[in-house]
Amino acid sequence: MERFVVVSENRSYQEIFALMAKKLAVPGPQVEVKPWMSALAWRWEALKSRITGKAPLVTKETARTSLGFYYYENDKVKKALDYEFIPVEKSIADLASFYQQK
């Protein structure tokens, strides 16, 4: 069985959130999240989730991955499917435009 990573380009969470803020014309991220903040956030969300029964906004896994930068190659899927991905910036611009029309 073949497995593919479906990603157009490598961007950090900070870059993605900054792009979203820019396209939505709202202030971007102002505080760099430190590891201790991330650890506190997922634990708080886990506790809140147990009390309310709602899904947590931040999990241990999302907190961990948000602090690192992971590099992925999309060459395999592009070659196998003869496919070109939509750039992240265009995807965010399109979604922001759609969101602002609602």
pLDDT in tens, the chain (102 residues): 888 778 889 998 889 999 999 999 999 989 989 999 999 999 999 999 999 999 999 999 999 998 988 888 888 888 998 989 999 999 999 999 999 997
Rounded CA-CA distance 93/99 in Å is 10
- DSSP label of 87: P
Instruction: Specify the number of domains making up the chain.
Output: 1
The set of residues, in sequence order, having a beta carbon less than 8 Å from that of 39 and lying 6+ positions away, is: 63
* Residue 18 forms part of a structural domain: no
CA-derived radius of gyration, the chain:
17
* Residue 27 forms part of a structural domain: no
Q: What length does the chain have?
A: 102
Structure tokens at 26: 């709202």
* Residue 94 forms part of a structural domain: yes
* Residue 86 forms part of a structural domain: yes
Domain that holds residue 66: 33-101
Closest CA to 68 of 29, 31, 27, 38: 38
* Residue 80 forms part of a structural domain: yes
